Structure 1
């Protein structure tokens, strides 16, 4: 169950990074809403990370959490923020996904 909580925490990390990207592109009230989304996503992500680390090793949990955030944010950037999707970028994101899965399998 804590692996599921950790994955959800990682997805909220993607959400708070994406909210920052959108806030940067907007002004006024719309930017304030994106910053509010950032704060809510950040709080939820941190609380879920804390919950997951109650039974998972902290080093593994943190590596998986940041990995999900990095991969998810990079994919969001390619899909919504016009970040480049070069072969090498996708290749190394794939190796990062493989590393995240590997950490799950070698953790107790």
Structure 2
């Protein structure tokens, strides 16, 4: 039996909707948790796509049990900060493009991944 991966989504804009629609076509993937800067938006998104947990602050996603990986769909300027936050908590990240705003941010992201052995 294949493992079902519990996905989280951080940032719930247009691209997150498309990602989750595609995610739902995969037999071994499940939308487990979503986080937004708006509790209402998070609850609505979770209801629309059947997420088990929803959070109105990005940081609260870190408290979610059984989370295997997070798709990061926040605004571009927050990619590095949010990726590093997740990696520091041992949560693998799939980051939407662009990965970061500059090479220094990418270096910091790679350093965090190596330090925490999380990719």
Fold shared by both chains (TM-score > 0.5):
no
More helix by share: 1
Larger radius of gyration: 1
More strand by share: 2
RCO (CA 8 Å, sep 6+): is it higher in 1 or 2? 1
